[in-house]
Amino acid sequence: MPARSYEVEAIVLATRDHGEADLIVTFFSLERGRATGIAKGAKRSKRRFVNKLEIFSFLHLTCSDPAGGGLVFIHEADLHTPFLRLRTDPPRYATASVVREFLLLALREGERDETVFRLTLWALHGLDTGSQRLSLLLLYLLRFYSAIGYRPVLEVCLTCGIKVSPSHGFVFSHLGGGLVCASCAAASGHPGTRLSPGSIRLMQSALELPLQKLHRLKLTNAMRQECLAALHLYGRHLFQRDIHSWVMLDSFGNRDGTTARPVQT
């Protein structure tokens, strides 16, 4: 008996050739989470798959599961949004690649997360329509860490518990996942990234505002540099590996008047 087909809304995260005609596609769907499937004859397709199974594309897929487990069968693909600019504009491609790499690191096969899915669509749409790319990445990573269970602690010092205020200096500890006051950081030699009061307030607001209101936040170049440096180091610590796409991201930093390189104490 043939497997029953089902439909999903999906973002393409990766593709690779399989034989002469097939494609292996890794995608993240609202209904079933991260999955890997095979599109038979995709490279020769004149109708079902042509110009659709591209990285970052948002698709409506018709699929079925194999009887004995393994790769999902992808039967058809209909294009919702191609996000073409993300593949043709190198700085935006680099930024979207960081989003993609974090998704691949954080999500296991079959893991479903509606919050992360909608957050990712928000980010890809913003990058495609011209939002300031580093600002958007900063906001995405803050919300992403929170969604996967690693919300940064931005209200008190992780060590002494003193409440965060402009009268005390703070660093962001990527090891602890939150703020450490200057006194505790100096006493313990705690590594961290210096954050100004404005950057701290920005990060606090970004975690509290509804997603549709994040565009109201005003970011300076200094805020972007400080916050992205902290979030980059935090990601490297969480996943215990380098974020390879960050090298490409940083190579385009000067085009936005800033970089994402760490500034540590």
Same domain, 100 and 123: yes
Tokens 């992403």 sit on residue? 144
In a domain, 261, yes or no: no
Same domain, 151 and 21: no
- Over residues 122-171, the pLDDT tens digits come to 999 999 999 999 999 999 999 999 999 999 999 999 999 999 998 889 99
Tell me what pLDDT residue 262 has. Answer: 42
Same domain, 59 and 133: no
Tell me what pLDDT residue 257 has. Answer: 40
In a domain, 218, yes or no: yes
Same domain, 186 and 102: yes
The whole-model pTM stands at: 0.92
Rounded-to-integer distance, Cα 77 and Cα 74, Å:
8
Q: What percent of the chain has pLDDT over 70?
A: 94
Tell me what pLDDT residue 160 has. Answer: 95
**pLDDT reading at 100 higher than 50:** yes
Q: Which structure tokens are listed for 133?
A: 């790319």
CATH code (residue 155)? 1.20.1440.120
Same domain, 219 and 95: yes
Residue 202, domain extent: 90-256
Tell me what pLDDT residue 45 has. Answer: 78
Q: What is the DSSP letter of 257?
A: T
Q: Average pLDDT for residues 189-213, to the nearest whole number? A: 94
Same domain, 31 and 158: no
Same domain, 46 and 162: no
In a domain, 264, yes or no: no
- Quote the mean pLDDT of the chain: 92
The strand pairing partners of 159, in sequence order, are none
Tell me what pLDDT residue 2 has. Answer: 56
The 3 state secondary structure assigned to 84-118 is CHHHHCHHHHHHHHHHHHHHHHHCCCCCCCHHHHH
Tell me what pLDDT residue 69 has. Answer: 78
Same domain, 239 and 185: yes
Same domain, 131 and 223: yes
Strands 33-39 and 72-81: parallel
- Over residues 171-180, the pLDDT tens digits come to 999 999 999 9
Q: What is the DSSP string of 126-194?
A: HHHTT--HHHHHHHHHHHHHHHTT---B-SB-TTT-PBP-TTS-EEEETTTTEEEEHHHHHHHT---EE
Among 40, 56, 82, the domain-final residue is 82
Q: What is the band of 3 on the pLDDT scale with cuts at 50, 70, 90?
A: confident
Q: What is the band of 265 on the pLDDT scale with cuts at 50, 70, 90?
A: very low
- 71: Cβ contacts below 8 Å, ≥ 6 apart: 24, 36, 37, 38
Q: Within 13 Å, how many C-alpha atoms sit on residue 154's CB side?
A: 22
**pLDDT reading at 203 higher than 60:** yes
In a domain, 237, yes or no: yes
**pLDDT reading at 258 higher than 50:** no
| More confident position, 95 or 4 | 95
Same domain, 106 and 69: no
Same domain, 58 and 138: no
